[in-house]
C-alpha cells in the first residue's frame, strides 16, 4: 500500500486529478475538504458527483449532519480506519483536499488526551453554563494560547477546560509536556501550482455552476432544517446566500461576493501550504500526474 497527498487552493483541479490517479492506480480517495464531510451540503461544498463517487470509492464525505460537531480527532480515526482497510484490500490511498489543517495533523500528529474523571466532566459542564466566564478563566491561565480561540467557540473552550480542570496545567503547559507524534511518516505531498488569473476564472465558472445547480434552494432547505446556528452553515458560499435572502444584497452581488471570498480563501490556503509543508512538491497538474503515476504502482 502506498499513499500520497494532493493539496492546493480551492478550484485548482485537485479532485479531478485525484480521480484520474485513483482510477489508474487501484486507489481509494480520502477527502480533506472540511465542508464535504457534512451530509446535505452538496452543492455549496462542490462535492464530487454521484457519477464520480461511483467511479472511485471516496471517504471523508457525508460523515455527519450539519448540526453535529466535527473534530480533527474524528478525522484521524477515519484515516486510521481507512489505512487499515487499504492494507487489507491491497489498495493505494490518495489524500486530497483544500483543508490542509487536517493533513498537517496527520503529518505532525496529535497530543494524547487525558482520561477525564466524572468529577472533571461535571465541573466543566457547570463552567460552560457561562461561556464568557469560562473563556476568561482560561485566558487568565494561558493568555497566549487562548488568543487563538474565539471567545464564542464553545467546542474548543470545552476541550481546553477539560484539560485544565483534569490536569491543573494550562493548555500551553500540557501540550509542551505531551508533544504530538506523527501519524504518517514519509508522505509525498504534491501541491498544484496554478496561476492566479487562471484560478480566478475557475472560481468564477464554479460559482456560476453552483448557482445554476440550485445553491440557493439547497441553503434554504438547510436553514429550514437546521437554522443558521451550526458552524457548518457559516462557510463561504452559504453566508453570502443568507445575505441575499435577507435582502441585504442583490443576486448579482451575492455571486460577486462568493467569488471574492473564495479567491481570498484560495490565497490563505496557498500561504498555509507554503509555511506548513516546506518539503511539498509544487508542480503543474500534468507534472504531478506523471510523478504520481510513477510513484504509486508497485
What would the pLDDT profile of 95-151 be if each residue is shown by its tens digit? Answer: 999 889 999 999 998 888 899 999 999 999 999 999 999 999 999 999 999 998 999
Q: Among positive and negative, which fits the CA dihedral 59, 64, 65, 68?
A: negative
Alpha carbon 297 to its chain centroid, in Å, reads 28
The architecture in CATH of the region 3-109+182-295 reads 3-Layer(aba) Sandwich (3.40)
- Residue-wise pLDDT tens digits, 181-237: 889 988 999 999 999 999 999 999 999 999 999 999 999 999 999 999 998 999 999
Q: CATH says 118-177 is which class?
A: mainly alpha
Alpha helices in 214-298 (DSSP H): 215-226, 239-245, 251-276, 285-295
State pTM to two decimals: 0.85
Other C-beta atoms closer than 10 Å to the C-beta of 215 total 22
Domain regions of the chain by residue span? 3-109+182-295, 118-177
Q: pLDDT digit string (tens) for 37-62? A: 999 999 999 999 999 999 999 999 99
- 227 touches 220 (CB < 8 A): no
Length in residues, the chain: 298
Amino acid at each position: 500500500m502506498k499513499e500520497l497527498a494532493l493539496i492546493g487552493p480551492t478550484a485548482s483541479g485537485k479532485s479531478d486529478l485525484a480521480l484520474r490517479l485513483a482510477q489508474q492506480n487501484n486507489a481509494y480517495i480520502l477527502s480533506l475538504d472540511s465542508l464535504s464531510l457534512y451530509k446535505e451540503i452538496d452543492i455549496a461544498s462542490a462535492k464530487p458527483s454521484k457519477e464520480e463517487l461511483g467511479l472511485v470509492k471516496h471517504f471523508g464525505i457525508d460523515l455527519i449532519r450539519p448540526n453535529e460537531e466535527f473534530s480533527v480527532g474524528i478525522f484521524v480515526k477515519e484515516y486510521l480506519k481507512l489505512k487499515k482497510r487499504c492494507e487489507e484490500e491491497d489498495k493505494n490511498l490518495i489524500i486530497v483536499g483544500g483543508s490542509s489543517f487536517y493533513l498537517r495533523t496527520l503529518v505532525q500528529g496529535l497530543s494524547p488526551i487525558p482520561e477525564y474523571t466524572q468529577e472533571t466532566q461535571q465541573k466543566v459542564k457547570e463552567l460552560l453554563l457561562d461561556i464568557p466566564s469560562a473563556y476568561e478563566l482560561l485566558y487568565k491561565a494561558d493568555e497566549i494560547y487562548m488568543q487563538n480561540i474565539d471567545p464564542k467557540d464553545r467546542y474548543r473552550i470545552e476541550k481546553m477546560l477539560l484539560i485544565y480542570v483534569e490536569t491543573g496545567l494550562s493548555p500551553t503547559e500540557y501540550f509542551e509536556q505531551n508533544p504530538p507524534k506523527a501519524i504518517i511518516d514519509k508522505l509525498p505531498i504534491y501541491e498544484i501550482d496554478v496561476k492566479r488569473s487562471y484560478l480566478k476564472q475557475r472560481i468564477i465558472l464554479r460559482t456560476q455552476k453552483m448557482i445554476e445547480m440550485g445553491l440557493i434552494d439547497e441553503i434554504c432547505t438547510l436553514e429550514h432544517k437546521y437554522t443558521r446556528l451550526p458552524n457548518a452553515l457559516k462557510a463561504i458560499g452559504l453566508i453570502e446566500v443568507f445575505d441575499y435572502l435577507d435582502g441585504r444584497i442583490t443576486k448579482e452581488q451575492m455571486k460577486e461576493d462568493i467569488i471574492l471570498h473564495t479567491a481570498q480563501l484560495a490565497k490563505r490556503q496557498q500561504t498555509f501550504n507554503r509555511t506548513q509543508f516546506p518539503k511539498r512538491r509544487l508542480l503543474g497538474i500534468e507534472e504531478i500526474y506523471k510523478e504520481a503515476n510513477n510513484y504509486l504502482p508497485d
